[in-house]
Structure 1
Amino acid sequence: MADAHAKHHDYHIIDPSPWPFLGSLGALVMSIGGIAWMKALNGSEFTIFGVDLAATNFWLFLIGLFLVLFTMYCWWADTIREGHEGHHTRVVSLHLRYGMIMFIASELMFFVAWFWAFFDASLFPGEAVQATRAEFTGGVWPPAGVEVLDPFHLPLYNTIILLLSGTTVTWAHHALLEDDRKGLVWGLALTVVLGVLFSFVQAYEYMHAPFAFSDSIYGATFYMATGFHGFHVFVGTIFLLVCLLRAMAGDFTPKQHFGFEAAAWYWHFVDVVWLFLFTFVYVWASVGATIAHG
């Protein structure tokens, strides 16, 4: 009987799982709730099959969000369990890496869209759509009357914080490869602290920014690009916090640690995106502009 269950190949066929369906259902409910919520805030109706969902928007969104988070927890718990059971063979691990690479590539294209919007508005502020865009920019960039943030104040602090976090997560990775559990835990703990610190500095920056999202195309592109990056930092911090808890529980080994490796890749991606944001959205866009102080 034991031979009947022995594994003679590097592939793993997973058991039937409810998580793809439940995750899709949660995403659908969350998106409907989110749209209804925005409609309600705008004083509009959102009707599906003759039912106005605007009144239930908040609860629909929360239910969908709960389903998505529950699916994420259970699905990833199953993946961790499969790894402990020895199903993550060389081939399976390679495919997991391909999956993470494709995910980061899709995230890259997501940010390309926001950079595209920023450069389109900044490089051609008075062309192509004279009747609309030039009206909001005055034909110059940043738009006339807009005071920008000092790139060498809080943005520079956050740049240093993220570069330091990239160093600490790399330290944790090398410590893991050398089976240094103490170095792994300390490196991850410092990275999580730096990620939280970055988020607090960015929140403070937003609260004291001299322009709003709806003031101009500058504010819209600035907040969309930096805001989504901030959200990715938040997600990456949670990702690394989970890795920290797993490391403290002794989950990772020098030969089997894809979960940590994926988190490190994601964090380095967040670092690189920020360097582009700092260089162009903060520094380049501030050249010749009025800097807000105080």
Structure 2
Amino acid sequence: MTRALPLYQVDAFTAERFRGNPAAVMPLTEALPDALMQAIAAENNLSETAFLQRRPGASVEYDIRWFTPALEVQLCGHATLASAAVVFEKLEPQATRVTFHSLSGPLYVEKTTLPTGAQGYALDFPRDVPETVEDAALLAQVSDAFGGLEVLDLLCSPTAAYRLVALVKDAATVATAKPDLMKIAAINHRSVSLTAAVDTDEVSLTAAGNGDHTDVDFVSRMFAPKAGIPEDPVTGSLHCILTPYWAARLGKTKLYARQLSARRGDLWVEDTGTRTILAGQTVFVLEGAMLV
């Protein structure tokens, strides 16, 4: 029997429609089979589709799962921001704080006023301090995947070992980098924390804000072809790594970040020492139903 499930599409980490990172959000009244959620995410063909299910009780709590067109992920920032917008603006407008229960533990989002004075949402996420990867062959492999790009340092997440971050010399290098997605998909490495080789699902670039981006503290781009995401427009979870890294490097705990994809996106981030705060705006672009 065909059912109509509510569907929202929200641009996250932007105040402009058709900028930032689009996410699909589907509030559910009952759980769906994993295979169906994966098929829906593939049909949406966005970097992430979030599925929400309200937990009973007076407090505003939801179970959340995220799927790319190819697989389920453990943590996603922009789709959580988009989900919070759906909760606050469509489902429970009286709420000021929501808890999402996820594969990465409880995630908290609350309404906030951004440094610009605009209204937005602040995500309370895990803190993921990266490790330096001492592997000349791997560094050369990453460099080659970007046409011989000079990599100053290579970092990886100790908790998400599939995630590599390459430090490059400036923001212009990040903005103009030309990735070979087949070479990125072929990269694997041995994490400092692990004893086994790990297939790398994501490779990111980062640099300090300078040149055309002196208004921000740091910039980035992220590529995940094996996850079905050639380039992610704005990656909240990546900033769980970048925020403590740049906070230590720049000697400040509150920073302003920009992801330099074609769509662009801005994030206000904070390293609390135990958690990462990611704040931004959202714009609704679609509201309807999917027949399943």
Structure with the bigger RCO (C-alpha within 8 Å, sep 6+) is: 2
TM-score category, normalised to shorter length: under 0.3
Would you tell me which structure has more helix in proportion to its own residues?
Answer: 1
Would you tell me which structure has more strand in proportion to its own residues?
Answer: 2
Give the number of the structure whose alpha-carbon radius of gyration is greater: 1
- TM-score, normalised relative to structure 1: 0.27
